[in-house]
Chains A and B, each alone.
Chain A
């Protein structure tokens, strides 16, 4: 009976995720899943013969206050950090449940079947915990966002991996509880070291993968306490994270191993120096206003620079002014724009851009040859034609927006500095490209004023 109640709650998760397939139904889907989660908690509290209510109530109150406080005050631009932090807490909770199982078993020891689940939960949960907070620190720029590499890094990682497996086997066969604690320590260190060498622009992949891990940790915790609701919920999240991870890798034309281990973006300086002396067309706000004002169709390509400059509202105001003049405005959003999948869409939705105007790679790219003016705001690598033309380029083969096929391209950028990948962008030197060197928000506001005179 209890099992069936748990199952019905698990079904709400599936329905909730199913309703995420469209913006109209998504909000109710989230609510359904939340109600299901509440149900799960009630069932647990009623069905288990709870002894210490004080601990539970205290934990729920503290967790609710902290969680709600964080969720309600976070800025949309900081959403990647927020999701990373929540991920970390999920992983930590699973690892703690497994650790509790070890303590509770005491000297009686844990049977090998459960022991394997405990080992996996401690490992995955621990890595998720410190890995997520490492990602959080990088996104908040508490630690440098660039890849941090040190000598012998691969050796240390390899040793940890081998050591972890060794300790795991020893723990399972010898049954000494101390092994679980050593394993926990190894997992915590591994989480930090795994994320340290990964650069800021690769965060969409890392966050997706850690999301998947937090699900897996919940699922293995389900094996520990023999509860199918955890296994189902965890498996769903594991699958979701894995799909997003694969899509992000695909969008960069790189393998997961390359993202995790290559230390991409440490700066290949040679190509930059070779071409950066070439002349560019410098534009003023007036030039940009003319190029936009007389266009029938405008495609805006936002990137992380837009988030950094908090320019989403200014973008929306300029787009509204253009629409009032009869211009068709769309937004072309690359899968890896921003610091997590779909980040740009959330920022533009916050600025009240209707979601019909947000186009993905497959929708937007074919329209570019018929587009009059492309406005690039803080994006760089996703519009770099080298990815298409230069087999020697580190980003060769990455799917891009072929913006150079549009009639006029406006690039709003603070300087000619190369993008995250440290690769020069030939687009900037094209004849039909106008370079507007300014902070994205200032640039948009100036252009909006200039547009009045066009």
Chain B
């Protein structure tokens, strides 16, 4: 099989895996899911690194640099902001311990 066909096979199978996995995410986590998925779409950083590292000539270098910057913003920002959000989702028990302290001054 040539590379293109293999790529298409991988794409189709990964899409189905994605559908299966993501259908199980509850609505309450949809925002972190989206920002987390968004960070994963920063995988294009692989291409950006290659572009910046192998580019010959000024234009290629500029494009590579901008690609790395954009992809890094996407990856770093995406994972960080997702972590910030998920850290806030807490169950009742964890919260009550603190609540008790507040109630007994």
Q: Which residues of A contact B (CB under 8 A)?
A: 10, 13-14, 16-18, 20-24, 26-27, 29-31, 33-34, 37, 40-41, 44-45, 48-53, 55-56, 58-60, 62-64, 66-68, 70-72, 74, 76, 79, 82-83, 86-87, 89-90, 92-94, 96-97, 99-101, 103-104, 113, 207-208, 211, 214-215, 217-219, 221-244, 247, 320, 333, 335, 340-343, 345-346, 349-350, 352, 354-358, 360
Contact = CB atoms under 8 A, between A and B. Distances in A.
A17 B14 CA distance: 13
A100 B41 contact: no
12 contacts: A20-B32, A23-B86, A33-B79, A59-B65, A63-B76, A211-B37, A224-B47, A240-B34, A240-B37, A243-B23, A342-B27, A346-B31
Nearest to B50: A48
Contacts of B14: 10, 231-232, 235-236, 239
Contacts of B19: 239, 242-243
A45 B29 CA distance: 34
Interface in B70-105: 70-92, 95, 99
A127 to B, nearest CB: 14
Contacts of A89: 70-71, 73-74, 77
B89 A240 contact: no
B40 A71 contact: no
Nearest to B77: A67
Contacts of B67: 59, 92-93, 96-97, 100
A242 B4 CA distance: 24
A13 B82 CA distance: 14
Contacts of A211: 34, 37-38, 41
Q: How large is the interface on B (under 10, 10 to 19, 20 to 34, 35 or more residues)?
A: 35 or more
Given A33-B40, A237-B37, A228 B10 contact: yes
B27 to A, nearest CB: 5
A21 B86 CA distance: 12
Contact of B18 (A21, A63, A239): A239
Contact of B45 (A27, A40, A242, A349): A40
A247 B76 CA distance: 28
Given A237-B37, A238-B15, A243-B22, A346 B42 contact: no
A67 B79 CA distance: 10
A13 B77 contact: no
A40 B76 contact: no
Interface in B33-81: 33-57, 59-61, 63-81
A34 B80 CA distance: 9
A219 B9 CA distance: 12
A369 to B, nearest CB: 22
Contact of A352 (B47, B61, B90): B90
Contacts of A90: 38, 41-42, 44, 70-71, 74
B29 A44 contact: no
B89 A349 contact: yes
Nearest to B53: A50
Contacts of B75: 37, 63, 67
Which 10 A-B pairs have CB atoms at the shortest separation, nearest pair first? Answer: A63-B72, A59-B68, A239-B18, A342-B30, A67-B77, A233-B43, A67-B76, A50-B53, A235-B14, A97-B47
A341 B87 CA distance: 18
B1 interface: no
A103 B63 contact: yes
B53 A60 contact: no
A56 B36 CA distance: 24
A64 B45 CA distance: 12
A103 B43 contact: no
A346 B32 contact: yes
Contacts of A217: 41, 44
B34 A360 contact: no
Nearest to A324: B103
Given A56-B49, A104-B56, A352-B95, 7 more contacts: A71-B78, A94-B44, A218-B41, A225-B50, A235-B10, A244-B30, A360-B26
Nearest to A61: B72
B88 to A, nearest CB: 4
B47 A230 contact: yes
A70 B73 contact: yes
A227 B24 CA distance: 28
Contacts of A48: 49-50, 53-54
B9 to A, nearest CB: 10
Contact of B71 (A22, A72, A93): A93
Contact of B47 (A52, A225, A228, A235): A225
Contacts of A104: 51, 54-56, 60
Contacts of B65: 55, 58-59
A53 B68 CA distance: 12
Given A31-B83, A217-B44, A349-B89, A14 B37 contact: no
B48 A93 contact: yes
Contact of B17 (A14, A234, A243): A14
